[in-house]
Amino acid sequence: MGKLTIFDFISLNGFYKGPGDDISWNMHAKEETLFSEDRMKNGNSLLFGRVTYEMMAGYWQQEDVIINDPIIAKGMNSAEKFVISKTLDKADWPGTTLLKGDLVEEVKKLKQRDKDITVLGSGSVITQLADAGLIDLYQVMIFPVLLPAGTPVFSNIANNIRLKCVSSKTFKSGTVVLDYEPI
């Protein structure tokens, strides 16, 4: 069975988007960029909610991004991708399959393929997957910034979910990556 990992950038006070959906605060220094490049080498399928999918598809296909961030752009653009949406009619980012069914059932089917899956961003999606007990690894990159307001990563979570820290990494910038598994 495939392993489902969520990977999110958050502020120290727990927001993955600031006011007006701003994400410019998650500035990557060289170490964070190298970490992200290394993650792209694992060959995981990617899963997005519609909002994150539209943002990622619009960003990673830009010519200047492909030139300035070639390793991550190549990984993002060549990865097998899935977008869960009841409102999209098509998914134009090459390598993307549109999933229109029930989120939990669709992810259960994807996990049966024995290929690991990473969910990037997608707050409402990861909240539902956490409540359904489908997340195998919670990976959070915490940036040393406090935002005045924003969108929390797990908004309206229905259940207590106990986690154990299985690894951590601190970058020179003060950014920290924490990996948690459900207990």
Q: For residue 41, is pLDDT > 80?
A: no
**Does residue 12 fall inside a structural domain?**
yes
**Contact, 96 vs 120, CB < 8 A?**
no
Q: Provide mean pLDDT across the span 99-125.
A: 93
C-alpha to C-alpha distance for 33 and 127, rounded to whole angstroms: 26
Does the pLDDT value for residue 42 go beyond 80? no
Residue 182 in any domain: the answer is: no
Check residue 131 and give its pLDDT.
Answer: 95
Range of the domain at 16: 4-174
List the end-to-end C-alpha distance of the chain, in Å, as a whole number. Answer: 18
Q: For 123-150, how does the pLDDT look when each residue is reduced to its tens digit (9 = 90+)?
A: 889 999 999 999 999 999 999 999 999 9
Residue 169 in any domain: the answer is yes
Range in 35-39, 60-64, 89-93, 172-176 the model is least confident about: 35-39
Cα dist from 85 to 19, 53, 77, 113, whole Å? 24, 10, 20, 21
Domain assignment present for residue 58? The answer is yes
* Secondary structure tally for the chain: helices H, strands E: 6, 10
Global confidence as pTM: 0.92
The CATH code of the domain that includes 103 is 3.40.430.10
Burial tier of 134 (Cβ tally within 10 Å: 0-12, 13-18, 19+): buried
Phi, psi of 75 (to 5 degrees): -60, -45
Instruction: With respect to residue 33, please indicate whether it lies within any of the assigned structural domains.
Output: yes
Q: What is the pLDDT of residue 122?
A: 82
180 lies in some domain: no
Q: How many domains does the chain have?
A: 1
pLDDT tens-digit series, residues 61-90: 999 999 999 999 999 999 999 999 999 999
CA 73 vs CA 38, 46, 67, 128, 152: distances in Å: 12, 13, 9, 28, 26
